[in-house]
Structure 1
Amino acid sequence: MSKANDIVSQMMANDSFSQWLGVDVLEVREGYAQIKMTVREEMLNGHRVAHGGISFSLADSAFAFASNSHGQKAVSIETSINHIKPIFEGDELIATAEKESISKSLGQYIVRVTRGDELVGLFKGVVFRKQDNWLISD
């Protein structure tokens, strides 16, 4: 198992919210994470479309996995999302997070949330990179 996969496995084991979302990890490598989920009925708002917090939360989980995959613990300090298209019950969403830039103390990431080939959300996030490192199994 790679370092990045080991870190994400540790994170997912303690991440009750990503588990509730039904997140499946598709691919992880340093500075990159791709995850998916399917929108359920209890995730819909009064307009019968997915609550904006659902696509945001999926993107935020991918962001967390990608930004921690380097081995140094990272926590978000600023995030935003553009909701581009409505999302419906039964839609399978994929969030792909990629590092844009990284320094000793900050990292910037872009997360694209897609439904098939269609972009439905664009998330931007900045993390603070802490002095703590993840414990990696040999």
Structure 2
Amino acid sequence: MGMIDPFVLSLISDEPAMDWFGLNVEQAHEGSAVVTVRVSADQVNASRATHGGVVFAVADQAFAMAANTVVHYAVTADAAIQYLSPTNAGDVLTATARTSFRDERRVVIDVDVTSRDRTIALFRGTARAGRRQ
């Protein structure tokens, strides 16, 4: 595990969806993050390919972790994904997020999702500073 921003650590400890999806934050600091998931047999669709929601979830988590190193309590303003290649149960998905724009209240994060040395999805999200609910 790499470096994880202290604020992000506090968020991880209070995020049950991460456990539900089986997501692991490998690192999150200075506008970047890496999140992984091993696709389980119950995370595939009828075609036995990884469900798109799982791919989106790992990308979205990396986006959120990177955004929260820039603006605290980041709230998603928009997010989009392009699915490029399928994966299957047992594959490890790695979402690598990096900041491409930031100002005092907003951040744009690009995320590459890879598995077995190939890009399987591209994600871009915009977040703004929020406040704890």
Residues 1-138 of structure 1 mapped to structure 2, 5 A cutoff:
5-70=5-70, 72-130=72-130, 132=131
What are structure 2's unaligned runs of at least 5 residues? none
SS in 1 for 2:86: coil
**Post-superposition shift, 1:81?**
0.4
Cα distance in 1, alignment partners of residues 84 and 71 from structure 2: 32
Aligned-residue identity in percent: 29
Normalising by structure 1, what TM-score? Answer: 0.87
How many Å separate the matches in 1 of 2:83 and 2:54?
11
| Contact 2:70 2:107 survives alignment (8 Å) | no
Higher strand fraction (1 or 2): 1
Question: Shift of the alpha carbon at 1:103?
Answer: 1.1
- Supply the RMSD in Å over aligned alpha carbons: 1.7
Q: 1:115 to 1:83 in 2, by over 3 A?
A: same
Under a length normalisation based on structure 2, what TM-score does the superposition of the two structures give?
0.90
- Pairwise CA distance, 1:4: 5.0
| Number of residue pairs aligned between Structure 1 and Structure 2 | 130
Q: Give the 3-state SS of the residue equivalent to 1:49 in structure 2.
A: coil
Q: CA deviation at 1:11?
A: 1.3
